[in-house]
């Protein structure tokens, strides 16, 4: 069996690490890795491949940044060339990025079966580009590997029931595998002179926030007014926006410390030791749950509804007052983290078993 794995962004590198590691241990399966180059910053790409021991991609399209339509189109052209050359038995896609939908569309048009890892997620906000990518990719995928029963039910509501499997969350598997190594090898706490539970970790990367100066300003006001030490690993898009705006610059170095993009091990270490996590990332919401750290989400909705239902995640949007209030006063109970929301950490084995049987 030949599998073409298509990845292009940080969350996909993390997810692919588990499955690629498992595939390497098996005979009779050849994995071909195609990196679209969606994340083109070396700190957000090469470091992840190195840390997570992901095989060097067989192909790298190096598409870089562009408008959504142009970026997706360039990806599709490159992916199509490689599919026609390799003719894989399956195209394996992850998550909800432009790389995801580009791979799905090429596979569907060339009649190559598509396996979608992290299928069935819905925020029910069509204003999010990721939501469009999810809905379209799921509608044309052959095998849909869901992380939760909620995701399975979302697909049922859309009339998708064939080829749907709840395999648990592959990010949980990767987190469990690397947590110990991250704690042993990361030096980021010492480098930044940080103490256990004495800082707030923040990530801001969604275009709806970083490309909207008013939203970004409100987030910074809320963070500053909390009076807590804020550690903000900076996405290239966010850094560009701040560098272009004198008003935003004035908030830096009050209580907000901006650091360069970091690798997976450093991120795990910062998450484990954080007092709270403030984010607009879907994946970081889950990682907060894995680490039993309260999460504050800078969005009006989330695809990870289980964290809201469990009372360990609050949606605050970009309201400065809500951001400050949650940072200062949101204190979930320990028992809120007791449920096994995202499976048993054996997702890769389940996926491979299903792929081999189809």
Residues with a known catalytic role: 205
Environment class of 135 (CB within 10 Å of its CB; exposed 0-12, middle 13-18, buried 19+): middle
Q: How far apart are CA 270 and CA 278, in angstroms?
A: 12
CA angle 73, 79, 81 (to 5 degrees): 110
Q: How far apart are CA 79 and CA 185, in angstroms?
A: 36
Dihedral through CA 152, CA 291, CA 271, CA 317, nearest 10? Answer: 50
Whether 108 and 266 have beta carbons less than 8 Å apart is answered as: no
Strand order in the sheet with 59-60: 59-60, 30-35, 2-7, 90-94, 114-117, 143-146, 164-166
Whether 209 and 235 have beta carbons less than 8 Å apart is answered as: no
């Amino acid at each position: 069996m030949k599998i073409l794995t298509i990845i292009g962004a940080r969350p996909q590198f993390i997810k692919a690490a588990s499955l690629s590691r498992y595939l390497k241990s098996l005979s009779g399966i050849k994995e071909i890795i195609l990196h679209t180059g969606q994340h083109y910053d070396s700190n957000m790409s090469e470091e992840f491949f190195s840390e997570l021991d992901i095989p060097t991609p067989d192909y790298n399209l190096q598409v870089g940044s562009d408008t959504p339509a142009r970026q997706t189109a360039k990806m599709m052209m490159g992916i199509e060339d490689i599919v026609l050359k390799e003719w894989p038995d399956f195209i394996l896609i992850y998550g909800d990025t432009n790389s995801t939908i580009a791979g799905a569309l090429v596979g569907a048009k060339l009649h190559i079966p598509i396996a979608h890892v992290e299928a069935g997620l819905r925020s029910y906000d069509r204003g999010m580009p990721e939501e469009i990518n999810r809905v379209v990719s799921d509608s044309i995928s052959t095998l849909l590997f869901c992380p939760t029963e909620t995701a399975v039910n979302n697909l049922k509501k859309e009339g998708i029931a064939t080829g749907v499997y709840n395999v648990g969350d592959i990010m949980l598997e990767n987190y469990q595998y690397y947590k110990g190594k991250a704690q042993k090898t990361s030096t980021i706490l010492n480098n930044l002179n940080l103490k256990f539970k004495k800082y707030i970790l923040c990530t801001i990367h969604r275009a709806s926030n970083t490309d909207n100066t008013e939203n970004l300003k409100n987030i910074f006001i809320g963070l500053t007014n909390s009076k807590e030490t804020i550690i903000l690993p900076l996405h290239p898009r966010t850094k560009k926006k701040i560098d272009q705006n004198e008003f935003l610059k004035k908030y830096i170095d009050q209580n907000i410390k901006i650091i360069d993009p970091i690798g997976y091990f450093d991120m795990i270490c910062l998450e484990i030791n954080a007092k709270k996590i403030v984010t607009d990332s879907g994946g970081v919401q889950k990682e907060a749950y894995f680490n039993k750290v309260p999460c504050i989400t800078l969005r009006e909705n989330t695809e990870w509804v289980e964290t809201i239902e469990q009372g360990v995640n609050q949606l605050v949007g970009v309201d400065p007052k809500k951001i400050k209030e949650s940072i200062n006063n949101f204190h979930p109970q320990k028992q809120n983290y007791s449920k096994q929301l995202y499976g048993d950490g054996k997702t890769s084995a389940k996926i491979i078993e299903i792929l081999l049987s189809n």
